[in-house]
Structure 1
Amino acid sequence: LIDSWEETFGVDMIHAWGMTETSPVATIAHPPAGVGGPARARYRYSQGRFLTGVEYRVVDDSGVVLEHNDRNVGEIQVRGNTVTGSYYHSPAQQDGAPAALFRGEPTEDATDRFTADGWLRTGDVGTITQDGFLTIHDRKADVIRSGGEWIYSAALENYVMESPAVIEAAVIGIPDATWGQRPLAVVQLASGIAPNETTARTLRQEVLATVPRWMAPENWTFVASIPKTSVDKFDKKDLRAQFRRGEFHVITLSTNADQR
């Protein structure tokens, strides 16, 4: 998208990252001066470099702060004068208690969003290069942990949606007796495409042209539409709940039939 807008319209699209808690922008993807060609493109595709005043770090699941490079993946944590240090308390709670309700529904414990030393746990998983450029891979809650490997649902969604047969696709992790979790592709098909095993097999083969077999979904379900949040993101909490309630007709493909 960035390349096509520049080539077609001469518009320099700038990638950025942030959240309400960071007021709201925390990074901007301006390539370093003098960088051109493929290197410039890589900088532009990243989420960018952190703004002045925003401290940042990458932390693994055990709480260890990782060295900054393009291989160490972990949760992105931030703090600074433009980063929130707490959430507004719910009036239904005792004085000093964290918010527990949002629009009448229970929500996560707000205190879990901060470390003991004051860092905001963003919930985003990614890497930070030695020169301070951030790349987000997925939401921590959406990463699929399968047989010791991490599968990024956001990347799989993009690969599935490259097919002209697909309007939208969301990927969630579902329990698997052998691997712990496996990806389930929830797909809204284009008009005229049959929601059957043949279509699922075709889509898997298309994904296999880009990713290894262990990463490609063998579980597929076809839906009329994919639920969205208030900010138009895939509502994966809702999708996981639908799966638990048995509302999806899941087609599970035999991986022995993969074309190699």
Structure 2
Amino acid sequence: MEQKLAILTDIHGNYSALKAVLDEIDQDNEKIHIHCLGDLIGIGHETNEVLDLMFSRKDISFVIGNHDQAILDILAGGKPDSRGAEREHHQWIAEHFNHDFIPHLEQIPKKSTAVYNGQRFLFTHYHLTDDEKLLPVDYEPTVKKLDAHYQESQADMVCFGHHHVVHHFKSHERIYFNPGSLGCQHKPLAPYAIVTVRESGNIDVSLKEVPYDNKEFLMSYSRLPIPAKEFVLKNFYGNQHLYLE
């Protein structure tokens, strides 16, 4: 029989968007396992609400993102990879972080694998070096470059996030897919994907966009002392707050 999985990534502390997506997934009559590809934390200010919801479920597998790791580094007394305004933002998130979530975050790997109807899946926040460091974002990805990077991989489908736009490439070797950032969009839409693996092994990818009410989420930036809020609102949410009544 066919098997279905949901792929979501880059929630970035946006509880309203996440709740809308999970509510839609839960309406499906079929049992769907969810793969979350990291960056649950930061940019948005609802980190604790996001983590509480995600960690309360038993149907989600995780890989860790760079924002998640940055908060762990700060809470451990170290220095994150982030710099400037981004580091200030991470410091603010860490100061308001519920420490009960630390053990959960510490257990999340940088990559994971699964098999659905004989098709091998690799899940990662972004492309990794041999020593599992994130590569710089490639803003002009191609099938040729992706095949070269994953030439030693046995995966039939590589699922990743980090770069907030949708990627969907297919070569003779495998499928490469990023559903786009669930929590950082210039419209009140939260993207994710449903992947169906047929009994034959054929893989169907369906990109979803769930509308949600983001007014309270965006207007909260004006009430909270969030570092670099003007930069965040412009670059990650398209200044939508300026058009809300």
Q: TM-score range by the shorter chain?
A: under 0.3
Scaled by the length of structure 1, the TM-score of the pair is 0.23
With a CA cutoff of 8 Å and minimum separation of 6, indicate the structure with the bigger relative contact order.
2
Q: From the CA coordinates, give the structure whose radius of gyration is larger.
A: 1
Structure with a larger share of its residues in strand: 1
Greater percentage in helix: 2
